[in-house]
């Protein structure tokens, strides 16, 4: 295990940012969010969790796939080269780290490998970051439901714990070890530090979020059985205004739309985030929409995450980060809805 004094942290950031893309939490007007770091001084470690999820590092909100130019009678088209530089994402909370594995199942494990996700994922070292284990969890969080603790290092390449004066950095994978070994200026942590690290992980287990007994296989079946209970779905989604905030904030929502956008003779084929709650989500060219009503679209969201995803990929596609609830303009709370459905 390695460590670095807190007042030397900017040194670490500087080196990582010089080597290749570094994505880390930055404080903006809206709160803290992950950004590509240009100025090392921008990085902050003083935050609960980012407003939006870290998924944008691997799955940007908008991404050009093909660029083209229309000339006399012909179209020149070029696929956009994929990022191949090694990158680092630093400061990911434990529940969000788990979201990457869930997204992998879809983007890498569905029989078709998504080159856009893969190139970034393969080249990026994930530095996880324990929540402050002496503070209470946000009331919207419910990651305990999935068995995650506030300082679980699993899934990170390197896991980072903050103490009063230092940051402890423990490698969890070969990739993580390689990164730490390459940073010669880090100090070697002592036995005392190891103890603090282990204690933090343990204390993290005692930080309580909201939690419910949710067995993936059981809830998957349950939701199918209550699918036709329109009264229930309408009741729990009455307030929903059909925006995209919950989906765009969610680390495990992966729907995207594709469109050709052109200005004069040049354009690109892009893919960009879509949201199942949007009015035009499944609007067909004929004008028909199989899910014209808000409750049908929000039901799709819940059933996709807690039922269809279980059938297809063997796990629930939610990590209980609480973001959807926090960003929802009307406080729709997926946890309460699933819990209620479970008890029907």
Partner 1 sequence: MTAFKKIEDHLRKEAKNLLEGGKVTLVLAYARGFDEKHPVPCVVKAAADADHLVFNEYCTYNMARYLTRYPVGTKIAVAVKGADSRAVVQLIQEGKVRRDDLVILGIPATGMKNQKTGEVIDAKTTASTINPVLYDVLLGDEIHGVKAGSPYDVLAEFEGMDKDARWAFWKKEFERCIRCYACRKACPMCYCDPCFMDASRPRWADKSPTDDGTLMYHLTRFYHLAGRCIDCGECSRACPVDIPLHLFHKKVAKECEAMFGQAAGMNIEDKPAMANFKGEDSDQMLG
Q: CB within 8 A of 16, min separation 6: which ones?
A: 22, 37, 88, 90
Bridge partners, residue 128, by sequence: 92, 159
Taking the least distance from each CB to partner 1, the nearer of 155 and 249 is: 249
Tokens of 64: 């050009």
Least distance to partner 1, CB of residue 108, Å: 24
Instruction: Using the rule CB under 8 A, give the single segment among 116-124, 175-183, 313-321, 331-339 that binds partner 1.
Output: 331-339
Least distance to ligand SF4, CB of residue 244, Å: 6
Task: Burial-class residue 241 by CB neighbours within 10 Å (0-12, 13-18, 19+).
Answer: exposed
Q: CB within 8 A of 303, min separation 6: which ones?
A: 223, 224, 227
Instruction: Using the rule CB under 8 A, give the single segment among 109-117, 166-174, 220-228, 257-265 that binds partner 1.
Output: 257-265
DSSP H helices, the chain, are 9-19, 94-107, 115-122, 174-182, 191-206, 216-225, 230-237, 245-249, 294-303, 309-313, 323-327, 334-342
Instruction: Using the rule CB under 8 A, give the single segment among 6-14, 150-158, 199-207, 268-276 that binds partner 1.
Output: 268-276
CA distance 213 to 211: 7
Q: 207: closest CA among 252, 156, 142?
A: 142
Where does residue 331 fall: left (phi above 0), alpha (psi -120 to 50 degrees), or beta otherwise? left
Q: 98: closest CA among 247, 203, 218, 251?
A: 251
Contact letters for partner 1, residues 275-314 (x by CB under 8 A): x--xxx----------------------------------
CA distance 171 to 159: 6
Contact letters for ligand SF4, residues 307-326 (x by CB under 6 A): -----------xxxxxxx--
Among 114, 152, 193, 333, binds partner 1 (CB under 8 A): 333
- Which of ligand SF4, partner 1, none does 320 bind, CB closer than 5 to 8 A by kind? ligand SF4
Please, are residues 147 and 212 in contact by the beta-carbon 8 Å criterion? no
Instruction: Using the rule CB under 8 A, give the single segment among 23-31, 87-95, 109-117, 184-192 that binds partner 1.
Output: 23-31
- Which of ligand SF4, partner 1, none does 96 bind, CB closer than 5 to 8 A by kind? none
Instruction: Using the rule CB under 6 A, give the single segment among 39-47, 78-86, 255-263, 329-337 that binds ligand SF4.
Output: 329-337
Intra-chain end-to-end CA distance of the chain, in Å? 48
- Which of ligand SF4, partner 1, none does 29 bind, CB closer than 5 to 8 A by kind? partner 1
Taking the least distance from each CB to ligand SF4, the nearer of 25 and 322 is: 322
Taking the least distance from each CB to ligand SF4, the nearer of 56 and 252 is: 252
Site for ligand SF4 in 202-261 (CB under 6 A): 240-243, 245-246, 249-252
- Which of partner 1, ligand SF4, none does 334 bind, CB closer than 5 to 8 A by kind? ligand SF4
CA distance 259 to 154: 37
Among 248, 295, 298, 306, binds partner 1 (CB under 8 A): 248
Secondary structure of 245-257 in HEC code, one letter for each residue? HHHHHCCCCCCEE
Please, are residues 118 and 59 in contact by the beta-carbon 8 Å criterion? no
Contacts to ligand SF4 by CB under 6 A: 240-243, 245-246, 249-252, 277, 305, 318-324, 328-330, 332, 334
Contacts to partner 1 by CB under 8 A: 28-31, 51-52, 61-62, 139-140, 210, 238-239, 241-245, 247-249, 257, 259, 261, 270, 272, 275, 278-280, 325, 327, 329-333, 335-336
């Amino acid at each position: 295990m390695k460590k670095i004094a807190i007042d030397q942290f900017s040194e670490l950031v500087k080196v990582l940012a010089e080597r290749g893309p570094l994505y880390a939490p930055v404080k903006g007007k809206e709160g803290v969010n992950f950004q590509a770091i240009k100025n090392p001084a921008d990085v902050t470690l003083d935050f609960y969790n980012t407003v939006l999820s870290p998924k944008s590092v691997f799955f940007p909100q908008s991404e050009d796939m093909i660029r083209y130019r229309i000339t006399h009678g012909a179209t020149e088209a070029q696929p956009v080269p994929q990022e191949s530089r090694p990158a680092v994402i630093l400061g990911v909370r434990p529940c969000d780290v788990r979201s990457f594995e869930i997204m992998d199942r879809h983007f890498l494990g569905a029989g078709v490998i998504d080159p856009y996700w893969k190139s970034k994922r393969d080249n990026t070292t994930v530095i996880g970051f324990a929540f402050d284990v002496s503070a209470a969890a946000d009331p919207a969080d419910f990651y305990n439901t999935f068995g995650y603790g506030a300082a679980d290092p699993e899934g990170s390449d390197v896991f980072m714990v903050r103490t009063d004066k230092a940051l402890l950095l423990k490698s969890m994978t070969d990739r993580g070890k390689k990164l730490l070994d390459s940073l010669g200026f880090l100090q070697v942590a002592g036995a005392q530090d190891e103890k603090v690290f282990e204690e933090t992980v343990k204390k993290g287990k005692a930080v309580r979020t909201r939690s419910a007994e949710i067995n993936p296989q059981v809830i998957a079946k349950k939701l199918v059985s209550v699918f036709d209970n329109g009264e229930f779905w309408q009741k729990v989604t009455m307030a929903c205004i059909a925006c995209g905030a919950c989906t765009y904030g969610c680390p495990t929502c992966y729907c995207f739309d594709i469109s050709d956008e052109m200005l004069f003779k040049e354009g690109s084929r892009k893919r960009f985030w879509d949201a199942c709650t949007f009015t035009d989500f499944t609007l067909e060219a004929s004008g028909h929409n199989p899910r014209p009503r808000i409750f049908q679209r929000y039901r799709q969201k819940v059933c996709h995450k807690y039922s269809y995803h279980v059938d297809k990929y063997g796990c629930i596609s939610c990590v209980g980060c609480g973001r959807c609830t926090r960003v929802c303009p009307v406080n729709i709370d997926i946890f309460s809805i699933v819990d209620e459905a479970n008890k029907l």
